[in-house]
Amino acid sequence: MTSRIARELERLDGMAFRRREACGGLVKRFHSLPAAARKHPDFKMLEQGYVWMFVPYSLWPIDVCGVVASLLDGILAGRRSTGEMALLMKMLGTVPTQSEMEAVGAHEHDVQVGNYEKLISAQHKFDLKEDILSQRKDFKADWELMKAAFPVDKYRDKKGIIRRRMAQERNFRSPDFKFKWRTIADRFRIAFDAFANKWVLYGMEGDRPLLLKLSVNVTALGTMILIPRYWSFDRKRDLEWPAIIRLHRSRDVHRQGAKLTKNQIDRHRESSRAARFWKQATAAGLKGDRRNSWVMGMLGWDARNDARQLRRLLEEPIQLDSQPGKPGNRG
């Protein structure tokens, strides 16, 4: 095993959610590609997908390992991918920033073991509720009924846990939410979901109820805070807001506000107009100071303005109705 493969496998070992188990084989396959395969037209897309394997799982917008495996299979078979695959990789884009990956990666290790204490300052509420629940006779009676009706051990995972189906954002439901009552497995899954809902659980570990926690989770799209329905929520005391804000802001969040947002919009609109005027001036054969003066005049600027202000405006990273880029790339 080469040192590079060893280093990358070690990186996967250091990531949450058994990343090496999921992606380790793909690391070895990628590095074992013959020289001819690396000349395949799809190899650049494969490289793009490959670096995403080292991004924290919470930030994956799609099944990255599945994409990498598909591209590897196609390259080794000598096939060209479809145009849709090229579109997918364009939409996937580049990996998040290093600071974002480090912050989210560290958070994932806590999430993996259900530890939200760094972000929650009212753990005592959960502890009390969990202790009371485990002693309730009506809860125990319900669980005994479940065990009498179904072979519950059959549905445990490797850790001995049975999990309910996950709730989804905005109450959208997965396809398996549809009522099916044909098999024992169908019936158990529906009955267990109802049981877990009744007692506000995310699962059962043996005979121990796994009570739903107040939790803060990062997803590819944002930061989600879930407050269990049994929780008497105190917004000032129950959450470690500074820690949550630091985690959320690690994701390249910038200051916002009504006035600031309006100023940004105005700035981006002016940048877009400047880019359009720059292109027109270039097409008309204007160069240098003459082009700068003409564009600033069209923008309504004072003639005494420094041309460097125009250059900075043209280099704005975000445009509302034109592509970003430097003046030299605008025609």
Which residues, 6+ apart, have CB-to-CB distance to 273 below 8 Å? 298, 299
Q: Is 7 exposed, middle or buried (0-12, 13-18, 19+ CB in 10 A)?
A: exposed
Q: pLDDT tens digits for 181-239?
A: 999 999 999 999 999 999 999 999 999 999 999 999 999 999 999 999 999 999 999 99
pLDDT of the residue at 315: 81
Q: Is the pLDDT of residue 116 over 60?
A: yes
Q: Is 132 exposed, middle or buried (0-12, 13-18, 19+ CB in 10 A)?
A: exposed
Facing residues of 205 across strands?
Answer: 161, 208
C-beta of residue 282 within 8 angstroms of C-beta of residue 232:
no
Among the listed ranges 39-43, 46-50, 279-283, which one has the minimum average pLDDT value?
Answer: 279-283
pLDDT of the residue at 237: 93
Report the alpha-carbon distance of residue 160 to residue 192 in Å, rounded. Answer: 15
pLDDT of the residue at 256: 54
pLDDT of the residue at 306: 84
Per-residue CA distances from 153 to 161, 185, 196, 199 (Å): 9, 12, 16, 20
Report the alpha-carbon distance of residue 133 to residue 142 in Å, rounded. Answer: 12
- The model scores a pTM over 0.85: no
The phi, psi pair for 260, rounded to 5°, reads -65, -40
3-class DSSP state of 215 = strand
pLDDT of the residue at 253: 61
Report the alpha-carbon distance of residue 185 to residue 189 in Å, rounded. Answer: 6
Q: Is the pLDDT of residue 242 over 50?
A: yes
Q: Is the pLDDT of residue 326 over 70?
A: no
Domain spans of the chain?
Answer: 3-95, 111-249, 258-329
Report the alpha-carbon distance of residue 265 to residue 276 in Å, rounded. Answer: 17
Helix ranges (H only) for the chain are 3-13, 19-31, 43-52, 64-77, 83-92, 98-112, 123-135, 137-149, 184-199, 241-249, 258-283, 288-298, 307-314
Please report which helix (H) or strand (E) contains residue 95, including its range: none
Helix ranges (H only) for 219-257 are 241-249
Report the alpha-carbon distance of residue 33 to residue 237 in Å, rounded. Answer: 55
Which residues, 6+ apart, have CB-to-CB distance to 283 below 8 Å? 331
Report the alpha-carbon distance of residue 100 to residue 252 in Å, rounded. Answer: 7
Per-residue CA distances from 170 to 167, 224, 226 (Å): 9, 12, 12
**Mean pLDDT, rounded, of the chain:** 90
C-beta of residue 247 within 8 angstroms of C-beta of residue 103:
yes
Q: Is the pLDDT of residue 254 over 90?
A: no
Report the alpha-carbon distance of residue 251 to residue 163 in Å, rounded. Answer: 30
pLDDT cut 90: percent of the chain above it = 75
Which residues, 6+ apart, have CB-to-CB distance to 83 below 8 Å? none
Among the listed ranges 35-44, 288-297, 306-315, which one has the minimum average pLDDT value?
Answer: 306-315
Q: Is the pLDDT of residue 330 over 70?
A: no
Single-letter amino acid, residue 278? W
Q: Is the pLDDT of residue 243 over 90?
A: yes
Please give the distance of CA 183 from its chain centroid, rounded to a whole number.
35
pLDDT of the residue at 10: 96
* Longest Cα separation, the chain: 87
Top-confidence residue, 61 or 309 = 61
Report the alpha-carbon distance of residue 271 to residue 299 in Å, rounded. Answer: 10
Rg (CA), the chain: 27
